Chain A
Amino acid sequence: QVQLQESGPGLVKPSETLSLTCTVSGASIRNFYWSWIRLTPGKALEWVGYVHHSGITNYKPSLKSRVTILVDTSRNQFSLKLTSVTKADTAVYYCARGMCRDNKCYFEPDLWGPGTLVSVSS
């Protein structure tokens, strides 16, 4: 059974860097797309970006200057770094796996982690 689990600090100070890790168990991180998505306090879902196991990335344009998503195949993990955070970055952050069907893989998610709340506050 494939499972995803987010980990990282639950509190980050304004202007600092938010760092999260997603650990994948039950399957290899290879051959899939992996995304970070966040749920704002207003209950809006916002896609942050994805990484492919090959290292290819794609980020939401409005966040692109502050986001880095990396994959670590040796640890079966991928990570999110978001710099210069503000209160607007307070959200529940989810990691998610892109779906594969008919021997082709896509970036839209079919499996999500339970999420981790990150609050930005001094």
Chain B
Amino acid sequence: DIQLTQSPSSLSASVGDRVTITCRASHNIEKYLNWYQHKPGKAPNLLMYGASSLQSGVPSRFSGGGSGTEFTLTISSLQPEDFVTYYCQQSHSTPLTFGGGTRVEIK
């Protein structure tokens, strides 16, 4: 299985801050990397696919990058609704696997 390691596992930030989350893969997954946002009690929401493509309807303050084994999700200016948990997920091969999650908290 391809292992995904997210860092940090949690971070504290303020509204308006720029934050970056990293996801590292145990093998080369090219650009088969997606990012999800998860609010407690709700359905996870796809933010980015193919490492850097913004899903329709997602605000442009979200951006993604990387290829191979290292990927990033950046939120350019945190909004109050962004203080939730984020997961990366690889679709290069089955079984699909997810990172351990990054919880973004209000400082």
Contacts and interface: CB of A to CB of B under 8 A. Distances in A.
Contact of A45 (B42, B45, B94, B98): B98
A20 B104 CA distance: 32
Interface stretch (B11-19, B20-28, B66-74, B83-91): B83-91
Contact of B42 (A44, A47, A58, A114): A114
Contacts of A107: 91, 94, 96
Given A43-B85, A94-B44, A113-B43, A60 B95 contact: yes
Interface residues of B, number: 21
B65 interface: no
SS class of chain B's interface: helix, strand, loop or mixed? loop
Contact of B95 (A47, A106, A109, A114): A47
A47 B94 CA distance: 9
B87 A45 contact: yes
Interface of A: 4, 35, 43-47, 58, 60-61, 94, 99, 106-115
Given A43-B100, A46-B98, A114-B41, 9 more contacts: A35-B96, A44-B98, A44-B100, A47-B98, A107-B94, A108-B89, A108-B91, A110-B46, A114-B42
